[in-house]
């Protein structure tokens, strides 16, 4: 694409498109992408960027993957979509069975949806409708952690941290939920009982009106890239059981190997009542999410007043997305993926270590395929984003965090290039 065409594309983008978390008047620079392959994005001006974000954490196999391409093409030749009300199809059935095989044994029912936020909405509705169906309609409240993030739709926003989160502007119109402090113990630390003191006190006082607790297991993502002790989840499961409250795990960001386990919950050996999956489910090819639940939840809702679960997305169980998800999961399972994630973590730790010596850096931490530089002050995205592009990498910081979640296929050499650019840009601030 020549320079005039490229500039015209940017101008039309500025005229017609409103980008996520962006102003339509103080318009940030955007970088037109015309192709992607492996771990690289090709810009319209011919430059290549090493992708450190996996397109918001989902393109775990990189771009233009032959196995995923083939799955899309083969399914497209059969049918691209069919409604899921009263109909079914082989990709949805196979994917549902596969998901129940790789998740905890008690999660035996799969509800498909379109995105991670909707998967969370479904989980919250499942919890509330379950209690209503079994004759306890007062159990409608939800409990979440400070620093948590669960999506941008209204139900999901209601369980995001209303103070440190991104949705405080909507605080007066969102359902009022309960929040407790996030665990302070690090990933490799034991979790002392006092870290659950606030949770224990809350459940003891209000369990009769609480439907569920929702948490991101082990890693709090968009709320700060915080890694906490798996022991917290063990104690939380026991508390939920003791007070007859459901437990929801939001693994939209962490599922499918990102933390070094297939699912982050495996670090604790804990099984939730409801599990939300998304992002990497299709390897980043198209939007699809899933909410899994136990037979207890499924049967309780089905035998209740409504007799059905009151939700039904138009594109639920899309055949193209389901076929691609099957191919993505099978590709991951066919490889020594745990050893590969260990390799990725070691490369990230090695490459980001020099940032520890910088005065503007508060912390450097890595877990699986996640590498984080936490600064003492928030970054200016409009200033910092072009600095990364100039160095040939794509990193999308937010708040005080300069972080990476690269595709699992990224080589050690490319990780070194990526992390060197991260440290270099942070040092220049």
Annotated catalytic residue, options 279, 285, 400, 403: 279
3-64+336-428 and 69-333: identical CATH topology: no
Is 21 a known active-site residue?
yes
In tens digits, what is the pLDDT along the chain, a chain of 429 residues?
777 787 888 889 989 999 988 888 887 789 999 999 999 999 999 999 999 999 999 999 999 999 999 999 999 999 999 999 999 999 999 999 999 999 999 999 999 999 999 999 999 999 999 999 999 999 999 999 999 999 999 999 999 998 876 777 788 889 999 999 999 999 999 999 999 999 999 999 999 999 999 999 999 999 899 999 999 999 999 999 999 999 999 999 999 999 999 999 999 999 999 999 999 999 999 999 999 999 999 999 999 999 999 999 999 999 999 999 999 999 999 999 999 999 999 999 999 999 999 999 999 999 999 999 999 999 999 999 999 999 999 999 999 999 999 999 999 999 999 999 999 999 999
Annotated catalytic residue, options 149, 178, 228, 403: 149
Residue 380 CA to residue 403 CA, distance in Å, equals: 15
Annotated catalytic residue, options 114, 161, 250, 273: 250
| Order of strands, sheet of 361-367, starting from the edge strand that comes earlier in the sequence | 361-367, 370-375, 401-404
Q: Which numeric CATH code is attached to 3-64+336-428?
A: 3.90.1150.10
Annotated catalytic residue, options 21, 26, 172, 359: 21
Nearest CA to 150 out of 196, 119, 129, 174 is that of 119
Q: What is the pLDDT of residue 397?
A: 96
Domain borders along the chain are: 3-64+336-428, 69-333
Phi-psi region of 5 (alpha: psi -120 to 50; beta: other; left: phi over 0): alpha
67 CA to centre of own chain: 23
Is 250 a known active-site residue?
yes
Please say whether the structural domain 69-333 has been given the CATH code 3.40.640.10. Answer: yes
């Amino acid at each position: 694409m020549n320079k005039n065409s490229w500039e015209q594309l940017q101008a039309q983008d500025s005229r017609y498109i409103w980008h996520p978390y962006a102003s339509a008047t103080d318009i940030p620079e955007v970088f037109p992408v015309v192709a992607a392959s492996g771990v690289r994005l090709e810009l319209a001006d011919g430059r290549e960027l090493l992708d450190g974000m996996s397109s918001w954490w989902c393109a775990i196999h990189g771009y233009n993957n032959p196995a995923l391409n083939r799955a899309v093409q083969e399914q497209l030749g059969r049918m691209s979509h069919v409604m899921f009300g009263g109909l079914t199809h082989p990709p949805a059935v196979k994917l549902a069975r596969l998901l129940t095989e790789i998740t905890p044994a008690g999660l035996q029912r799969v509800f498909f949806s379109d995105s991670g936020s909707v998967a969370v909405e479904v989980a919250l509705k499942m919890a509330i409708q379950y209690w209503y169906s079994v004759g306890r309609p007062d159990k409608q409240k939800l409990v979440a952690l400070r620093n948590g993030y669960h999506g941008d739709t209204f139900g999901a926003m209601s369980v995001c941290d209303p103070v440190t989160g991104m949705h405080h502007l909507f605080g007066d119109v969102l359902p009022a939920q309960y929040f407790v402090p996030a665990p302070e113990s690090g990933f490799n630390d034991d979790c002392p009982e006092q870290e659950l003191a606030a949770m224990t006190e809350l459940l003891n006082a209000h369990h009769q009106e609480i439907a569920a607790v929702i948490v991101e297991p082990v890693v709090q993502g968009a709320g700060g890239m915080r890694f906490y002790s798996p022991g917290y989840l063990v104690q939380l499961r026991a508390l939920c059981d003791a007070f007859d409250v459901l437990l929801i795990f939001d693994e939209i960001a962490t599922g499918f190997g990102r933390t070094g386990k297939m699912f982050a919950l495996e670090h604790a050996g804990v099984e939730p009542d409801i599990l939300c999956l998304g992002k990497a489910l299709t390897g980043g090819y198209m939007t699809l999410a899933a909410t899994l639940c136990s037979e207890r939840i499924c049967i309780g809702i089905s035998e209740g007043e409504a007799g059905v679960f009151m939700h039904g997305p138009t594109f639920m169980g899309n055949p193209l997305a389901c076929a691609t998800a099957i191919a993505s999961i099978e590709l991951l399972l066919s490889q020594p993926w745990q050893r590969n994630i260990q390799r990725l973590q070691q490369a990230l730790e090695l490459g980001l270590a020099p940032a520890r010596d910088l005065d503007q850096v508060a912390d450097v931490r890595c877990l699986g395929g996640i590498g984080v530089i936490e600064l003492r002050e928030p970054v200016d995205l409009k200033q910092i984003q072009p600095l990364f592009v100039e160095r040939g990498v794509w990193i999308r910081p937010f708040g005080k965090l300069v972080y990476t979640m690269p595709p699992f296929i990224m080589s050690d050499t490319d990780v070194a290039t990526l992390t060197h650019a991260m440290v270099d840009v942070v040092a220049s601030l």
